[in-house]
Structure 1
């Protein structure tokens, strides 16, 4: 009889673990894995609560992303501070399954922990700690509203479920890291191609406006911005003049036609410091321009100065987002910097070539004028012919 019962329990456990594996296999997010694991385990053990805790030992806090609770019982989702009960973490750090038949009188747990959980309705609990590298990283727990003798079979299911949950979470993290790596590589290649094609399309003979427009389009692409502007520095007024914009109303473009270093926008800060600058507009309530941007749904921005090779300001690349407190990744900053250098060089080359062409034209005009004067002088002296005869 005992052998038959043991066989039946083994078959039930294997069937449950197979069901669990099938359920979490397509999941990648830790919260989703927590949710499905706790739902299935609570149902299997007919428990009142089931939840997975991620531990931060430095802060002595535990985080519950998802849980499963019997109808009418309180959820434990959220952050839990156990800094006042260090012996609780010490108990879990032994890596052993702890079964509390009568939770209120389970003296291995600190009284503060017992009081908190009995107030929620706990009368029994079973805990399976997860240890990695000699450190407690997580715990899978089940609890009930009645004093309960947890069987060795139930403890075995709890442990195996905890281990499979951790394995699924680590798999999801590895897959996410690989996916992010591939996406980053694809983004880097796309940005590199963007800069290469930009340098091929924009030559100094092009108009300055085409350089501004192309540089602004590239800025928005590299930063995945919702809007953007290109500004040119006016050394006479020491202000930034709006030259090109994307996705802004006339109210905004009119107001920001010129910006000085006193503005609390990203471009104003970058003009003042000469360095890349971020701005979070809802925090700058005293700045009219920032309030206007918030009114159009813009929450954050970055400005990247364009500098000549000699270090003189030339202009500004600006990217703006509807997302609050958005910041660029290191890769995005690197490519934006390359774009800024490329745009600054193109502007400088265009200006230098324009200045050279104008100088040559003035020289030719001067030479022609001298030649004409010489012709008139010679003609008055009685010589026949002229420079164009």
Structure 2
């Protein structure tokens, strides 16, 4: 959330409400602002009623896919005798996405409260938080918050005298992008190399340790306490009919005031840019991503597209993680896309041929085009590779990698051709500020 004064109706600071407090991450600060009161309410509510409450709220997964959270909880088989597990996906690594890490850093207890409520609702006594290993400061803060919660009787045995038991483990990953995919995350959590599993069976039936498992994003779980505390109608009053509630919109790149803007779903980029001071002075918007680099890029003609799952889908992209990367007119689209595909080629787990080979060869083609060594025919070659990636890879990494290539050729085909006809990139990279351009 930005600290600059904004119109009262424009932002909905719920998760970020107390980020400006210097002690916002402590248990005392969280309790002083109403923290863990929703947990008391939840522990006096029937678990099935909590599941129905989350279903009725319309809360959809905030990790990218947008699957209804309560519905995912309801998929756990009632007749399975194995223990149930709750796993929080905190392996935030999508280029441009930077919402979960600041949330855990500034307010880890809202996540912990959401974990206890969610675990109680699905009748789980063991939860894991899988955190990206590079963010050591976040891991330390989470572990400190977990220790505070145990000491206060908010975790462990007989929580708040309810008879409900829950243990929470903070697990550090080893820095693999693929472990953001839920089944690869589960393999990693079990001690194996992180690679996607074949589905079905889905985690709800056979997840962690072949037991029923719910895997949810940090922001999804952190949103649960506010729903319990304020009610379903409060939550559905924000957002749109099919994309209810609020969420973080992470503005980065060529914008005057980058940061986290917590707003109702359905807000537009134009509105967010107005709050963020617009594109940097002297330049105009060229293209942007609505949900990180694995979502098809959009242009200035999509400024007024409501940022909800359905509207962004109708515009030809995906809302994803709401990572709004802003690129102005100094940016070479071929160079930007090339950097993204180099990332995906590096981070591909190599399990399936379309992703392993497709990303490798797209890097070669994009490099040739940028150096002026490519041909116009190679645009068709790129699209042919994308066609073999889209829907044919073992997991969504293949689809995500195809998205920026296909959409950039759709919107900026002439710029690709200019690289061929002008013998290289027409942009002066010394003046360009694409990430990595001047390094």
Radius of gyration: which is bigger?
1
TM-score, normalising length: structure 2 = 0.22
Bigger RCO of structures 1 and 2 (CA < 8 A, at least 6 apart): 2
Q: Going by fraction, where is strand more abundant, 1 or 2?
A: 1
